[in-house]
Structure 1
Amino acid sequence: MQSIFITDANQWNNALVSIPYAHVLQSWAWGEIKARHGWTPTRVLLLENGAIVAAAQILRRPLPRTPFGVLYVPKGPALNFDNAELFARVLAELENIARQQRAVFIKIDPDIRVNQPAAEIPKQRAWRVSDEQIQFHNTVTCNLARSEQEILAAMKPKWRYNIRLAERKGVTIERPEHGAWSQFYEMYAETSARDGFLIRPLEYYRDVWTTMHNANQAQVFFARVGDSSTGDVLHRTAQNDIVAGLILFWFGRRAWYFYGASRSIHRDLMPNHLLQWEAMRWAKAQGCTEYDFWGAPDALEETAPMYGVYKFKMGFGGEFVERLPAHDFVVNRALYWLYAVARPRYLARLRKLQSSSLESL
């Protein structure tokens, strides 16, 4: 197997889309984003008999005051996972790269279903299930290769009803040409406070969304209540507001619902149902054949934190997909223990102490 390191964006993306299971987080634009936030990307094409058979965008983060680093292949490597022997050879190459780059470990979270034969290969090669799962590994997907009528027919009746209800009640869907990131972030912050999840500062998301939009890999959608033709967004009344939004990523023939946000008002008008449907229609019009709702619970139990979100996604006629969790290949066992075990314990202890201090004020 031959490794070729790529330094040209078009060459990388064109090669990547030709490989099965290529993910948007393996795209050039995503690597450039992470390069501005502490990581160094390396793009590697793997060839056999002169043909490209796999690709891996490898992110490296240095460990302070040491010559070592950690490596991460987000939603990669990309290859045909129906070929288990090929996956084994690709992992062998990644193991060699990890040693060459003085990595403490290398983490992968490939887009492989747990029922594919290749899913057993990491364990056979002494990769371990990672204690740190960065991306969702389970998800819900919808087949966009069908007609719109077939997609609608596969939805739960209540979901079709809610889509029609939103349309009857005057909810409209917009696609701002220039991002409107600040407006989206305001809703995103409201959503995080209401639903109890943490988000990053606006500057990080502005970088992500702008970079992906400029690479023609992202589109924002807004759901508005009322007449969309009147006035400035900042001066509209509660009856003429943006009440929900989503940001869609796409790459090749796949689309991902990456970010969603909504306000607490006008939820009875079902804007999120219409928003998802119009995003699906738009992705289909761009040539996408799969819509990934990006995220589902690890366990399908009603007590699971994401179970309500999972039920919402499944209502669109989606398929629950269980994928392999992230795996680590450990190169330096002592440093791995410090990084993966001692460090999280220390940070958890520190957060607990900070929380106790705040409660005592």
Structure 2
Amino acid sequence: MKFEEISVAEFDAFASTHPLKNYLQCSKMDPVSKATGWENVYYVGIRRDNALVGAARLIALKNKANQYYFSAPSGPLLDFNDKELVAFFTTEIKKFVKSKKGFELNMNPLVIHKERNIDGDIVPDGEDNGTLVDYLKELGYRHNGFITQYDYTKDVRWVFMLDLEGKDEQTIFKEMKQNHRNIIKKTEKFCIEIKELGYDELGEFKKITEDTSKRRNFEDRTLEYYQSAYKQFIEDDQIKYLVAYLNVEAYIEKMQNELNKEEEKYKRNFEKNPDSGKTKELGVLVNSLTKRLKEAEELRADGEMIPLSAAMFIMYGDEITYMFSGSYDKYMNFYAQYAIQWYMIRWGIKHDYKRYNFRGITGCFDKKDPEYGVYEFKKGFNGYVCEYIGDFMLTTSVFNTILKIAKKVKG
């Protein structure tokens, strides 16, 4: 076997057909990575009998000592059942990273640890790659552990996945939780309009995500990141920034028509029998609709088209990935994120995507977990939990050991 740097074109051709393909192992991410501080990008491959059998997109970040931290985000792209290939890659990548003044390599291949169902339970006789974790440790990697929490310095280890292949819109909708079906039906009555943003409109998207990040205390991506991703993926229709807007006048008109209809029913029933249960029930409904109409009319002060919620999606290979999102707290009762997700799921079905990746969950399925609501939201669309083997670190230089010692002394 032979290890060498390869061209971007050869890497992309190989990556696009690999079983572990994903958008992070794609050259379009190069400017996006640089927008978040990664300085250098390398493409390496392994040949067996002149045929490319493994490859990786590597990014490098320089520290104050002019040493580099390397990462193969959601990579490398290898057949991890081929122990000889994995061992050869490990030996050669260690030498390569060291030659580029790298002191450590992080990798987190999209290999399933243990197959799980919708509730996060292990599937009996399902896929199990626990022995691979042990083998990588034998090769000198340090495992970051089977974490069940968000680590914003790493890529997600737990995701929620929905299979679209072979299903139509009616089937997907029917398989959702009843609560989600009811909410989606509600959003269809709210006069919500989903708009795809152009490059010059990404500031609107950023306002929503920034507002959400401040409220929920997490770090938002920069506008430069969103703009860079747009430029790279838009040409092949591989990215979407969606914003759900409330059409205020249409909503008010709909509310008024509904109120008029129920008032007529109430009057007819009141004339027949003012004390009947039906009359009282209609009276309660009319009062409720009157209150809701007043609230709707008050929304005029916020504009004609009010942005409610936003979400970013990347499409690569046969998978749609739900990336980032945000919602204004004031308008949560319109359930706009449900409308956006349903919009994209239907779009995915129409365009023959096989999977819909809801991305990160913590991997903790206890209802007391602070982030359980995120999992519950995604679970309601049906699907299954996907647990990856996690992050592995490979030290390539004594610099890392010295750094750790220095931290202990300082601490």
Coarse TM-score class (shorter-chain normalised): 0.7 to 0.9
Question: What SS class does the counterpart of residue 249 from structure 1 fall into?
Answer: strand
Cα distance change on mapping 1:47 and 1:303 into 2, 3 Å:
farther
CA distance in 2, matches of 1:135, 1:3: 26
Aligned equivalent of 2:158, options 132, 138, 143: 138
In structure 1, what is the equivalent of residue 293 of structure 2? Answer: none
CA distance in 1, matches of 2:242, 2:5: 36
Root-mean-square deviation over aligned CA pairs: 2.8
Preserved contact between residue 221 and residue 279 of structure 1 (Cα < 8 Å): no
CA distance in 2, matches of 1:14, 1:51: 13
Preserved contact between residue 194 and residue 245 of structure 2 (Cα < 8 Å): yes
Using the TM superposition, give the Cα deviation of residue 88 of structure 1 relative to its aligned residue in structure 2, in angstroms. 3.6
Cα distance change on mapping 1:239 and 1:337 into 2, 3 Å:
farther
Using the TM superposition, give the Cα deviation of residue 331 of structure 1 relative to its aligned residue in structure 2, in angstroms. 2.0
In structure 2, what is the equivalent of residue 53 of structure 1? Answer: 53
CA distance in 2, matches of 1:172, 1:218: 19
The one of the two structures with greater contact order (alpha-carbon pairs below 8 A, sep at least 6) is 2
CA distance in 1, matches of 2:95, 2:189: 59
Question: What SS class does the counterpart of residue 78 from structure 1 fall into?
Answer: coil
CA distance in 2, matches of 1:185, 1:328: 33
Using the TM superposition, give the Cα deviation of residue 150 of structure 1 relative to its aligned residue in structure 2, in angstroms. 2.6
Cα distance change on mapping 1:333 and 1:177 into 2, 3 Å:
same
Cα distance change on mapping 1:254 and 1:4 into 2, 3 Å:
farther
In structure 2, what is the equivalent of residue 15 of structure 1? Answer: 14
- Give a deviation string over 1:170-227, Cα, whole Å, max 9, x none: 2222223446210000000111122121224433433334334356431111112116
Cα distance change on mapping 1:252 and 1:123 into 2, 3 Å:
same
Question: What SS class does the counterpart of residue 241 from structure 2 fall into?
Answer: strand
CA distance in 2, matches of 1:341, 1:279: 49
Using the TM superposition, give the Cα deviation of residue 26 of structure 1 relative to its aligned residue in structure 2, in angstroms. 1.2
Task: Detail structure 1 runs of 4+ shifted over 6 Å in the superposition.
Answer: none
Preserved contact between residue 97 and residue 396 of structure 2 (Cα < 8 Å): yes
CA distance in 1, matches of 2:49, 2:405: 38
Preserved contact between residue 56 and residue 73 of structure 1 (Cα < 8 Å): yes
In structure 2, what is the equivalent of residue 176 of structure 1? Answer: 197
Preserved contact between residue 33 and residue 208 of structure 1 (Cα < 8 Å): yes
CA distance in 2, matches of 1:254, 1:174: 21
**1:64 aligned onto 2:64:** yes
Aligned equivalent of 2:350, options 285, 297, 300: 285
CA distance in 2, matches of 1:307, 1:341: 38
CA distance in 1, matches of 2:353, 2:192: 25
Aligned equivalent of 2:210, options 189, 194, 209: 189
Question: What SS class does the counterpart of residue 19 from structure 1 fall into?
Answer: coil
Preserved contact between residue 70 and residue 105 of structure 2 (Cα < 8 Å): yes
Using the TM superposition, give the Cα deviation of residue 136 of structure 1 relative to its aligned residue in structure 2, in angstroms. 0.9
Preserved contact between residue 221 and residue 247 of structure 1 (Cα < 8 Å): yes
Aligned equivalent of 1:310, options 368, 371, 375: 375
CA distance in 2, matches of 1:138, 1:273: 21
The 5 A counterparts of 1:165-244 are 165-178=186-199, 180-214=201-235, 216-226=237-247, 237-238=302-303, 240-244=305-309
Preserved contact between residue 113 and residue 119 of structure 1 (Cα < 8 Å): no
- Give, as a single letter, the amino acid of the residue that structure 2 aligns with 1:102: K
In structure 1, what is the equivalent of residue 110 of structure 2? Answer: 111
Cα distance change on mapping 1:89 and 1:218 into 2, 3 Å:
same
Using the TM superposition, give the Cα deviation of residue 57 of structure 1 relative to its aligned residue in structure 2, in angstroms. 0.4
Cα distance change on mapping 1:188 and 1:342 into 2, 3 Å:
same
Larger of the two Rg values belongs to structure: 2
CA distance in 2, matches of 1:80, 1:274: 39
CA distance in 2, matches of 1:341, 1:239: 59
- Give, as a single letter, the amino acid of the residue that structure 2 aligns with 1:93: E
Cα distance change on mapping 1:72 and 1:265 into 2, 3 Å:
same
In structure 2, what is the equivalent of residue 232 of structure 1? Answer: none
Structure-1-length-normalised TM-score: 0.84
The 5 A counterparts of 1:243-282 are 243-282=308-347
Preserved contact between residue 61 and residue 69 of structure 1 (Cα < 8 Å): yes
CA distance in 2, matches of 1:76, 1:84: 16
Cα distance change on mapping 1:177 and 1:334 into 2, 3 Å:
closer
Cα distance change on mapping 1:161 and 1:26 into 2, 3 Å:
same
CA distance in 2, matches of 1:228, 1:329: 59
Preserved contact between residue 244 and residue 261 of structure 1 (Cα < 8 Å): yes
When structure 1 is superposed on structure 2, of 184-193 and 291-300 the one drifting more is 291-300
- Give, as a single letter, the amino acid of the residue that structure 2 aligns with 1:15: F
Preserved contact between residue 31 and residue 228 of structure 2 (Cα < 8 Å): no
Unaligned 5+ runs, structure 2:
115-127, 146-150, 251-299
CA distance in 1, matches of 2:101, 2:204: 43
